[in-house]
Amino acid sequence: MEFKDLSLKEIIAKIKSKEVTQKEVYDYFLARIEKLDPTIEAFSYINKEFVEQDINSPLAWVPIGVKDMFCEKWVPTKNSTKMLENFVPPYDATVIKKLKKAGFNSIGKTANDPFWMWSSWENSDFKKSKNPWDPTRIPWGSSSWSATAVAAWLVPAALGTDTGWSCRQPWSMCSLVWFRPTYGRSSRQWIIAYSSSLDTPWTLTKTVEDAALLFEIMWGYDPMESTSIKEELKINPAIWDKKDLKWIKVWVPKEYFMEWLDAGVKNEIQKWIELMKSLWAEIIDISMPYTEYALSVYYIIVFAESSTNLSRYDGIRFGYANDESLKSLDEAYKKNRSEWFWKEAKRRIMLGSFVLSSWFYDAYYHKAALVRELIRNDFTEAFKKVDVIISPVSPEVAWKYWSEKVDDPIKMYLADVFTVPVPLAWVPAISVPCGFAKPSDWDKELPVGIQIIGPKLWEEKIFEVGHVFEQANKEYINSKKPEIF
């Protein structure tokens, strides 16, 4: 049976009905990983040991990929940096504990950029993941490896975290479903930190319903995590039966359709808007005046917080402090900080330290924090009038790796313009496949995604809208597949 063609929910149903066994499913995906991962380069660690579990558990022991910054007990967790090459945590992240209790099977760790802090992937210490739609192109974002693992059907789903764009961008460029809950819904405990006020655990799946399935297991208050929230969650199962978007008000901010949005991407988004109208959604055109500041605010905050979080990697607590070839802790410190922090990490440490310095704190970080509140207010006011906001995910389709963006960080940062307002406002969002567009340098079409943003703590609404659109657009999206797989 070709399990690669099935959703997570469909595979679980076949195991529970005893149509197939857990081992058959596990061996199938393990064989695909062993065959295709040398080309795709998605996994930094593969678990080849199968242990049968209770088939009646919610996840029925279906194999799932895990981004290499979730701590798993006695499983190597490198965060794709040589500095943590020998780190094996003696504990599980809270969300991993919840998933294990539900019958979760981690088949391996998907790689990421070192400390997951770069838009593209060319500078990874270990693997350089390829986009299954065209292996000469980037899958985009520090979660590229998770995206390619699911897009190449090496696993039916994957886990990771999103700070500003690292999930939505690769999902869009690989034609997958990404979901980010409200900040604080899922615990960050024992997930290697990047930017503490922005990081959020996410799910990557083939369908919206699969995303909801994983989210309902992962969410919940964690007394060990200071930003965890206690609000209850209820997702009405009736939303999966909806066929239209009657009574749904949708906001299309005009600021998200700037002149430099690629023409092909813009055309697909316009088609999507027309489809929503045909599904009886009410489209409203309003303004979000502080959107233009979101990118600047995001990068000031993320640099500041990442420089603080990276200060723990001092060569004593992690890395090479116990290396006998090094003569002193000072030498270990220098080796870690200078040799194993690659150029983007160094750039962010320097800029973050700069904006937090006593001379420039008020001019940069404090001001960014104040403008962040204005951006949040934009969303608060918007959701008094509409149910969801839609926007593009990326201003263009996947570009060639080693493009000019690698050496021009400003161009790379600008590609995040549509996604960074979401984490700044702490609201939930989902990215679903929208269509296909041709890049200027290729004669074949590549995936385009749409972002659906909802009010804080109202994940049910974006699941509802995303699912209705997914079903209405299913035939078109499924008409194209990555050719090489």
| Most confident segment among 32-46, 101-115, 127-141, 206-220 | 206-220
Residue 331 pLDDT > 70, yes or no?
A: no
CA 324 to chain centre: 39
Q: How many CB atoms lie within 10 A of CB 442?
A: 15
User: How confident is the model at residue 287, as a pLDDT?
Assistant: 81
Kindly state the average pLDDT of the residues 256-274.
Answer: 83
Which residue is associated with the tokens 């690659």? 342
* Cβ-Cβ contacts under 8 Å for 167 (sequence gap 6 or more): 141, 143, 146, 147, 160, 161, 178, 180, 202, 204, 431
Residue 217's alpha-carbon distances to 15, 139, 158, 214, 460, in angstroms, are: 19, 27, 14, 5, 14
**When comparing pLDDT for 297 and 54, which is higher?**
297
What tokens were used for 41? Answer: 């380069």
What tokens were used for 215? Answer: 């989210």
Residue 67 pLDDT level (bands cut at 50, 70, 90):
very high
% of residues, the chain, pLDDT over 90? 49
Kindly state the average pLDDT of the residues 229-256.
Answer: 90
The fold of 3-291+370-478 is Amidase signature (AS) enzymes (3.90.1300)
Tell me the pLDDT tens digit for each residue of 216-227: 999 999 999 999
Which position among 44, 129, 166, 175 bears the catalytic label?
166
Residue 375 pLDDT > 90, yes or no?
A: yes
291 SS3 class: helix
User: How confident is the model at residue 9, as a pLDDT?
Assistant: 97
Q: How many CB atoms lie within 10 A of CB 190?
A: 22
Kindly state the average pLDDT of the residues 24-30.
Answer: 96
User: How confident is the model at residue 473, as a pLDDT?
Assistant: 92
Name which of 165-169, 306-310, 337-341, 430-434 the model is least confident about.
Answer: 165-169
367 is catalytic: no
Residue 274 pLDDT > 70, yes or no?
A: yes
Residue 84 pLDDT level (bands cut at 50, 70, 90):
confident
Cα 85 to Cα 167: distance, rounded to the nearest angstrom = 24
Name which of 185-199, 251-265, 431-445 the model is least confident about.
Answer: 251-265
Which position among 7, 80, 129, 142 bears the catalytic label?
142
Residue 417 pLDDT level (bands cut at 50, 70, 90):
confident
C-alpha closest to that of 455 among 398, 401, 384: 384
Cα 69 to Cα 114: distance, rounded to the nearest angstrom = 10
Tell me the pLDDT tens digit for each residue of 383-402: 999 999 998 888 888 777 75
C-alpha closest to that of 237 among 205, 206, 273, 212: 212
Residue 85 pLDDT level (bands cut at 50, 70, 90):
confident
Which residue is associated with the tokens 């690669």? 4
C-alpha closest to that of 435 among 473, 482, 464: 473
324 SS3 class: coil
Contact between 153 and 176 (Cβ < 8 Å): no
Say which amino acid occupies 138: I
Residue 412 pLDDT level (bands cut at 50, 70, 90):
low
Average pLDDT, the chain: 85
Residue 86's alpha-carbon distances to 77, 212, 321, 421, in angstroms, are: 8, 34, 12, 36
% of residues, the chain, pLDDT over 70? 84
Question: Cα dihedral angle (383, 388, 389, 392), rounded to 10 degrees?
Answer: 160
Which residue is associated with the tokens 């579990």? 53
**When comparing pLDDT for 399 and 437, which is higher?**
437
Contact between 454 and 466 (Cβ < 8 Å): no
Residue 467 pLDDT level (bands cut at 50, 70, 90):
very high
Kindly state the average pLDDT of the residues 413-430.
Answer: 85
| Most confident segment among 65-69, 338-342, 400-404 | 65-69
C-alpha closest to that of 416 among 175, 172, 194, 114: 172
195 is catalytic: no
373 SS3 class: helix
User: How confident is the model at residue 261, as a pLDDT?
Assistant: 80
Residue 320 pLDDT > 60, yes or no?
A: no
User: How confident is the model at residue 484, as a pLDDT?
Assistant: 59
Residue 475 pLDDT > 50, yes or no?
A: yes
Kindly state the average pLDDT of the residues 200-213.
Answer: 94
Kindly state the average pLDDT of the residues 252-266.
Answer: 78
Which position among 67, 98, 127, 130 bears the catalytic label?
67
* Cβ-Cβ contacts under 8 Å for 122 (sequence gap 6 or more): 128, 138, 401, 402, 406
**When comparing pLDDT for 112 and 142, which is higher?**
112
Residue 440 pLDDT > 80, yes or no?
A: no
User: How confident is the model at residue 321, as a pLDDT?
Assistant: 46
- Domain ranges in the chain with CATH number 3.90.1300.10: 3-291+370-478
Q: How many residues does the chain have?
A: 485
67 is catalytic: yes
**pTM, rounded to two decimals:** 0.90
Say which amino acid occupies 63: P
